[in-house]
Amino acid sequence: MNWPEKIIFCEVGPRDGLQNEKTTLSVEQKISLIEGAAEAGVPIIEIGSFVNPKAVPQMADSDEVAKRLRRLPGVEYRALVANIKGVERALAAGITKVKLTLSASESHAKANLNKSVGELLKGFEECAAFARENGAEVSGAISTAFGCPFEGKIPVERVASIAGRFVEDLGVTELSLSDTTGMANPRQVYDRASHMIEKFPQVKWFLHLHNTRGMALANIVAGMNAGVIRYDASLAGLGGCPFAPGASGNVASEDVLHMLREMGIESGIDLDKMIALARRLQQWVGHDTDSAMLRAGPCGGTACAGK
Amino acid sequence: MNWPEKIIFCEVGPRDGLQNEKTTLSVEQKISLIEGAAEAGVPIIEIGSFVNPKAVPQMADSDEVAKRLRRLPGVEYRALVANIKGVERALAAGITKVKLTLSASESHAKANLNKSVGELLKGFEECAAFARENGAEVSGAISTAFGCPFEGKIPVERVASIAGRFVEDLGVTELSLSDTTGMANPRQVYDRASHMIEKFPQVKWFLHLHNTRGMALANIVAGMNAGVIRYDASLAGLGGCPFAPGASGNVASEDVLHMLREMGIESGIDLDKMIALARRLQQWVGHDTDSAMLRAGPCGGTACAGK
């Protein structure tokens, strides 16, 4: 098998992790989370989203979070946007990288944003141009890029076609394949990632994997073997599906970083600091989450010495 | 990546899953569990252990379970033994395959059985000979084959040396590498499994993986890529470490079988029947367990249609 020497990690907890939580964190808590991740060595942090606060009330204070944040040099603080208004807010708050997310499934796009993929892309062209004119970089994400709860498996051609629009029409060179509801499997991740890298070698590919069916770390193994070195994850595994109580959401950052450490793959991130952050975050949201590190701790402890 | 067309699955829930549970299942419940797994298509079932009932009270009724069990043709019903007395009991109960487990770590062997690895091997030679004289087959397992909570990483040479004793002194041709406390990582599993297959090509290798640090499915992906096609798992993910409450134990059979189904790898097992069995088992033991299938269900449902 082929392993990378190092990977590039993006913490999405402050955005994807918190957006569906019942508990609202204060601006101070969010800032402490983001600053903590940066201090632990995380090179990219998705700090929030600039979208309609009525639709996603948990992200209504992203402006204040971004403005008050103490930034470390060399760390990228990116945010999700969905329209020009969002780009304006992000720019005003000092964000220099905005992310545009499009679903590979028409049904999913319709259910989430009540727009067709074509309509969304049209709007995104304006967003991308406007962001660039104002000095911000643009990245993209394709949600339900493996499977969709409404449509089932998503054909690779459809994902490639949307990637093509991102690259050609929006000028994006950084794209994430998102397994939004945890339907990807290792064989599919390996095949799809290999296909995308071959078709779009100029793109910096991210994988954004959910652990809904327990396969996220297995999918990362497959992704690394396909040559992907950029991974999203969320502290404490926050970001579960709001319609399936108890189901896992994003794979836990600390579980990803622990596996990489055990495998001798460099992330540049302090695992112990991340576990401490995850524990604090779990206390703040006030419920159990899907994190092996918070349950069992890293390898090396003598906690589990049974038969 | 290289995927097998099919794998051979062994259900260890009735033994490894139940041996540390607080709740005692009745003989009828155990039989219903074993018969249910056989009816779902599981080809190998570890039905219990014939060991000192004072040390492992949950397995005290293995004799009765094995005697009363309705056996399906083509299914292998194996049991764990540790000494001649155990072999005698197993044979009397109609068991035709006994498994001998040895730790790769002296500290672990000492802590669990208060014997050295050498002493244990000596006793196992007698067991294996006695079992064969009486028409039973013998298989072996090496516990803490990747890491030990007392000794840390276990050198591959030590595992290979114990495998050699199993093969040469005990005449075993079927061996399991057990990640007893969930310390294996995918790179290590790939390297170690490849090494063992190369060194002992005549052995039928099993992997027995725990999900303590969330890496079990990732480790199975690595194992399959190394050429291992035999896997143990436990319904509902039962078999957690008694000293780390809440920590995961054996990887859940239904999670393994679901991943394989999604990857198009044949197991010959009915996933829905296994999920139903796992759900019933979880109700019997009366606590939550680490099973993605019992939380979120298989891919294909519309339960998790959020952003």
For residue B137, being part of any structural domain is answered with yes
CA neighbor of B250 nearest in space, from B79, B10, B70: B10
pLDDT tens for B120-139 read 899 999 999 999 999 999 99
Best of B183, B185, B260 to substitute, by most chain A Cβ atoms within 10 angstroms, is B185
Q: Which of B10, B127, B148, B241 is catalytic?
A: B241
Confidence category of residue B307, pLDDT binned at 50, 70, 90: very low
Question: In the predicted model, what is the mean pLDDT of chain A?
Answer: 93
Question: Quick one: pLDDT at residue B244?
Answer: 54
Burial of B57 (0-12, 13-18, 19+ CB in 10 A): exposed
CATH number, residue B228: 3.20.20.70
For residue B261, being part of any structural domain is answered with yes
pLDDT tens for A135-146 read 999 999 999 999
Question: Are A303 and B241 an interchain contact pair (Cβ–Cβ within 8 Å)?
Answer: yes
For residue B306, being part of any structural domain is answered with no
| Cβ neighbours of A255 in B, within 8 Å | 213-214
pLDDT tens for A160-192 read 999 999 999 999 999 999 999 899 999 999 999
Question: Quick one: pLDDT at residue A220?
Answer: 98
Confidence category of residue A307, pLDDT binned at 50, 70, 90: very low
For residue A3, being part of any structural domain is answered with no
Confidence category of residue A306, pLDDT binned at 50, 70, 90: very low
For residue A304, being part of any structural domain is answered with no
For residue A170, being part of any structural domain is answered with yes
Query: CA distances (Å), B15 to each of B25, B30, B208, in order?
Result: 12, 10, 13
CA atoms within 13 A on the CB side of A103: 25
For residue B236, being part of any structural domain is answered with yes
pLDDT tens for A83-131 read 999 999 999 999 999 999 999 988 887 877 788 888 889 999 999 999 9
Question: Are B299 and A147 an interchain contact pair (Cβ–Cβ within 8 Å)?
Answer: yes
Count of domains forming chain A: 1
Say which of B218, B243, B293 has its CB closest to residue A221. Answer: B218
The residue with tokens 């969002």 is: A86
Query: CA distances (Å), B200 to each of A153, B3, B174, B204, in order?
Result: 40, 21, 10, 9
Q: Where are the beta strands (DSSP E) in B74-210?
A: 76-81, 97-103, 137-143, 147-148, 152-153, 174-179, 204-209
Nearest Cα of chain A lies from the Cα of B241 at a distance, in angstroms, of 6
Nearest Cα of chain B lies from the Cα of A221 at a distance, in angstroms, of 6
For residue B307, being part of any structural domain is answered with no
Question: Are A304 and B247 an interchain contact pair (Cβ–Cβ within 8 Å)?
Answer: yes
d(CA B125, CA B169): 7
pLDDT tens for A10-28 read 999 999 999 989 899 999 9
Helix axes B186-199, A253-263, angle to 10 degrees: 40
Clarify whether A241 is annotated catalytic: yes
Question: Are B247 and A295 an interchain contact pair (Cβ–Cβ within 8 Å)?
Answer: yes
Determine the Cα angle at B287 with ends B282 and B290, to 5°: 70
Which structural domain, as residue segments, surrounds residue B260? 8-296
pLDDT tens for A199-208 read 999 999 999 9
Point out which residues pair with A45 in neighbouring strands: A11, A77
Question: Are A185 and B262 an interchain contact pair (Cβ–Cβ within 8 Å)?
Answer: yes
Identify the closest residue of chain A to B297 by CA–CA distance. Answer: A213
- Among B77-86, B239-248, B265-274, where is mean pLDDT lowest? B239-248
Question: Are A150 and B305 an interchain contact pair (Cβ–Cβ within 8 Å)?
Answer: yes
Nearest Cα of chain B lies from the Cα of A69 at a distance, in angstroms, of 26
Identify the closest residue of chain A to B250 by CA–CA distance. Answer: A307
pLDDT tens for A221-241 read 999 999 999 999 999 999 966
| Contact predicate B305/A111, CB 8 Å | yes
Best of A190, A225, A248, A299 to substitute, by most chain B Cβ atoms within 10 angstroms, is A299
Question: Are A221 and B186 an interchain contact pair (Cβ–Cβ within 8 Å)?
Answer: yes
